[in-house]
Structure 1
Amino acid sequence: MEKTKTNQPVQEKGSWDWDVGEKKIVSTTYCSTQFEWIEEFQASPDGEKIAMVAKVGGFEFSVCETGDIWDPPYEKIWHLGYGPDGRLVALVAQDGEWTVAVNGQTWEETYGFLWGSMFSADGKTIAVAAQQNMEYGMVIDGKPWKKFFENANQFALSNKGDRSAAVVQTKSFAQADILAYQKGCYTVAVDGDPWEREFVNVWTPVFSPDGSRIAAQVRTSLYDYTVAVDSQTWSRAFAGVWTPLFAPKDKSVVAPVRERGKWGMARNGEIIWEPVFDQCWHQQFSHNRENLWAIVAPQYGHFTLARDGQAWKTRFPVVTDLVLAPQGQRAAALAKDDKNQWTVITDDTAWPGRYAMVWPAVFSPNGEHLVAKVERNGKYTFVLDGKELSESFDQAWDPVFSPDGDKIMLRYIKDDAYFRRVVRREDFK
């Protein structure tokens, strides 16, 4: 097998085609008539390609990308998708062994099983979770950790892709060996090297923005939860914690914490948001590094957003997928009402439309505009600042703003064909 080249150039939005208009990329009827069956379509970030897994023979599968077929075929293919740099990646099996295929070329090494493809922020690095000889670890650009473990999960990759981590089991214990379990059998392995300290449980390891540090939720006893940073725990324990986050300004660590039956926020173990919420999680720092946002429930079953501990007045039974504007103070999230209809909330106000589904919203580069893909009555369309596009489609992908924010690229399927279209903001009425 040929080894994948990983030094491919990253796709830059400025180099994409931003001429206004619709371009037909390929007919999808070719795919449905050429093969016995096909799987879900995947669109490239620049919209110029579309791909899917296809059954090409009795027990053979391949990938069809805009009419071109990967050769040779494989026994199994799954987790097909495009990376941030536009390369098409899939997990493939041949003769019962799994590897990674990138643009049709496979890594040299094979494994008993692979899952959970991850990419660095620029897409140059590809990592996967792996099982080999009933031990578990990670493989980065075809290179496995030097040590695999009896159990590994909660895999993570740094933004640059130069470091990787996972929760690992360091000691074997019988199914009913409660005493051994309570002494601590789990820790975080970074690049395959486990922390020296072990815990009752560990969850969600996260890297600092520069990848130099790592933090995780830990349970030090059956009843005490806290955060460990580079294996060192906060000096204070809580009744519960959620996923930690590094502050981009000073590398401090913040995490939602539970105390006296309520949730708040702590920084390096010290309370910064008083525990007054029924729930508090999914925190993010604004891009100007000044404000901390989170999804909160000021009352049971009433969710909204909070900035620096101050909750919005707009409340819904469900709020999820918090996103922040690249500049300024704006935030947005998805919200579901008591009729199971979805919308977008931003600036403490809900968009007027209600939909069967809404996908995470996207801010323009200057943060002034917000666009999202939505579904209604089995059809898909796009909404900009609460205004719907007049057309609907059979399938669609997330919209993308041009670098200047004046145009939006749409990717969709209609009338048995895949299209790439660039529109102006004025096209939303």
Structure 2
Amino acid sequence: MPDFSLWDWETGEKQIPFEDWKDDFEWVEEPCVSPDGEKIAAVVKVGEEAFTMAVNGRRWESEFEKIWLPRFSPDGRLTCLAADMGEWTMAVDGAAWDRAFGYVWSPLFSRDGSKIAVAAQDEMKYGMAVDGVLWETVFPYMTRMTVSPDGGKTAASVQVESPGEGEIFKFQEGTFTAAVNGKAWDSRFLNIWDLSFSPDGKSLAAEARLTLYDYTIVVDGAPWKKRYDCVWRPVFHTGNGSVLAPVKSEGKWGLAADDEMIWKNRYIQLWSQSACPNGEKVAAAVCPKFGKWTIAVDDAPWKCLVDEYVDAPVFSPDGRHIAARGKHKGKWTIIKDGVLWKNAFDMIWDPVFSPDGQHVAAKAEINGKWAFAINGALWERRCDAAWDPVFSPDGKKILLRRVEDGIYKRTVLGLDGMARVLK
């Protein structure tokens, strides 16, 4: 994660006239913004089949035939997938990787942004490339890519055998497994789906399909002993290191840890489980009765129910509070500690907690405009584009990054003063 303490937290506003870029370039695509809000960037066309990136109005010297998916890494570097001479690579702050591939997609970053990984196709084989270095072993098929928190390992679901057209039973024998840094597990499965690394990157867990009807969780290539009707993505417990996974048996869902049920209640649906930072609580999105959704904390569902959807629970840094976005009666809002915000929106994004857990903010969409909601109240301004709000390390200020009337604005506001303009 970036070091927020190094950012400029002086109360005030910085502006960059983004709309004026259209006078300097043939066209300008949608912008992206750096985590600290100091930079705004966009793909720009600078000639016949020539594209580059512009940052705060100044273009890169390098040009490419195509550019796709520009985004800033957690450490503030500008990255994009770029094509030249029919081959694709990653460009970072204007410099392309030394190696190019037939195609690249799904860029991933280590937690601190120091490592950048992509899925890559090379001569019709697939693998992952980290900082331009491709796995030594590549595969005929690959999906569900992930990277460890420190960036030291990459993993994906891979097909290790390609059955011939007449080998109709080969699929049921198992042709899929997981590969870590290009080394495939010895075990084989009908399917391998979502993967998760442990916090230290030493272990990998995955959803697996054993037969046409049986599912389980696999950890470092070893399947759990029990078989289930279905499973969802496993995650590692932040406290004791166990593997948590939603599992379905006898028509209902429950939560298992290391192949043992740890919650007594059974639900119509359960997913997006996670443990709080200190490991003292476990929460998940659950459907306790048909068409009703909420968050369960240590197997105790909130009384507040929404009628369409609830997303993954988000813990405050101290683990004392939980928030999630949910859809109720056709509108989106935030549920915090079992209480719905009073305002509802056409769309809302993931909640963001202040470091002390006392405040929650999120970007939202209302009537085709972007807005910011803080503790359930709306900031008075409406925007043409917006990015997730960020709280200062002391929790007393908030950074709002947005485009308003063609001008990119980086605004730092004190939360005490904002109370007067929240509705």
Q: TM-score range by the shorter chain?
A: over 0.9
Aligned equivalent of 1:4? none
Q: Contact conserved, 1:226 with 1:240, CA < 8 A, in 2?
A: yes
Check whether the contact 2:281–2:319 (CA below 8 A) recurs between aligned residues: no
Aligned partners of 1:258 and 1:275 also within 8 Å: no
State whether structure 2 residue 283 is matched by structure 1 residue 304. Answer: no
Deviation at 1:71, TM superposition (A): 1.7
1:130 aligns with 2:136: no
RMSD value, Cα: 1.2
Describe the shift of the 1:289–1:406 C-alpha distance in structure 2 as closer, same or farther (beyond 3 A). same
**Residue of structure 2 in register with 1:54 after alignment:** 44
Q: How does 1:244-323 map to 2 (within 5 A)?
A: 244-274=234-264, 276-316=266-306, 317-323=308-314
Aligned partner (choices 172, 185, 197) of residue 195 of structure 1:
185
- Distance between the aligned counterparts of 2:210 and 2:257, measured in 1? 19
In structure 1, give the amino acid aligned to 2:99: E
Residue 53 of structure 1 deviates from its aligned partner by 0.5
> CA-to-partner distance for each residue in 1:300-355, whole Å, 9 max, x for gaps?
221110011111111111111421110032111111112x2111001111001011
Of 323, 340, 344, 1:332 maps to 323
Write out the 4+ residue segments of structure 1 that deviate beyond 4 Å after TM superposition.
Answer: none
Which shifted more, 380-389 or 133-142? 380-389
Q: Work out whether 1:75 is the aligned partner of 2:90.
A: no
Shift in CA distance, 143/28, structure 1 to aligned 2, threshold 3 Å: same
Of residues 13, 28, 39 in structure 2, which corresponds to 1:22? 13
Cross-structure match for 1:395: 385
Structure 2 counterpart of 1:372: 362
2:314 maps to amino acid: V
Q: Alignment partner for residue 358 of structure 1, among 324, 343, 348?
A: 348
Structure 1 segment 115-154 matched on structure 2, within 5 A: 115-154=105-144
1:275 Cα offset (Å): 5.5
Residue 69 of structure 1 aligns to which amino acid in structure 2? R
| CA contact 1:84–1:123 (8 Å) conserved in 2 | yes
After alignment, is 379-388 or 162-171 more displaced?
379-388
Q: Please state whether the residue corresponding to 1:288 is helix, strand or coil.
A: coil
- 3-state secondary structure, aligned to 2:263: strand
Query: 1:4-31 CA distances to partner (integer Å, 9 max, x unpaired)?
Result: xxxxxx842111111111111x111222
Structure 1 range deviating more: 209-218 or 267-276: 267-276
Partner of 1:12: 3
Helix, strand or coil at the partner of 1:273: coil
Provide the residue aligned with 1:6 in structure 2: none
- Whether the 8 Å contact between 1:259 and 1:275 is mirrored in structure 2 is no
Question: Is 1:230 matched up with 2:220?
Answer: yes
Q: Is the 8 A contact 2:189 2:208 kept in 1?
A: yes
Contact in 1 for aligned 2:388/2:400 (Cα 8 Å): yes
Deviation at 1:36, TM superposition (A): 2.2
**Distance in 1 between residues matched to 2:347 and 2:136, nearest whole Å:** 43
* 1:157 to 1:134, Cα distance in 2 relative to 1, 3 A: same
CA contact (8 A) 2:101 2:122 kept: yes
Which consecutive unaligned segments of at least 5 residues does structure 2 have? none
> Residue type of the partner of 1:154?
R
Conserved 8 A contact 1:81-1:90: yes
TM-score by length of 1: 0.95
**Aligned equivalents of 1:368, 1:288: Cα separation in 2:** 17
AA aligned to 1:331 is I
How many angstroms does 1:150 deviate by? 0.3
Instruction: Tell me which amino acid in the other structure corresponds to 2:12.
Output: G
1:263-316, Cα deviation, whole Å (9 max, x unpaired): 011111111123521110000101120111000000122111001111111111
Residues 1:173 and 2:163 are matched in the alignment: yes
After superposition, give the CA deviation of every residue in 1:196-232 in whole Å (9 maximum; x if it has no partner).
0100111111110000000101111111100010111
Report if aligned partners of 1:326, 1:367 keep a CA contact under 8 Å in 2: yes
Alignment match of 2:53 (pick from 63, 69, 89): 63
| 3-state DSSP of counterpart to 1:14 | helix
Say whether residues 1:42 and 2:32 are aligned partners.
yes
Task: In structure 2, give the amino acid aligned to 1:16.
Answer: W
- 1:223-248 C-alpha deviation (Å, 9 max, x unpaired): 11000101111111100000001112
The residue matched to 2:171 in structure 1 has which SS? helix
SS of structure 2 residue aligned to 1:127: strand
User: TM-score with structure 2 length normalisation?
Assistant: 0.97
- The change in CA–CA distance for 1:113 and 1:311 in structure 2 (over 3 A counts) is same
1:175 Cα shift? 4.8
Tell me the distance in 2 between the aligned counterparts of 1:321 and 1:165: 23
The CA distance in 2 between the partners of 1:174 and 1:334, in whole Å, is 46
- Corresponding residue for 1:164? 154
Are the equivalent residues in 2 in contact too, given 1:327–1:366 (CA < 8 A)? yes
Opposite residue 299 of structure 1, the aligned amino acid is K
Match 2:374 to one of 345, 368, 384 = 384
Tell me which residue corresponds to 2:176: 186
Q: CA deviation at 1:80?
A: 0.3
Equivalent residue pairs, number: 418
AA at the equivalent of 1:384: I
Please name the residue that 2:198 is paired with. 208
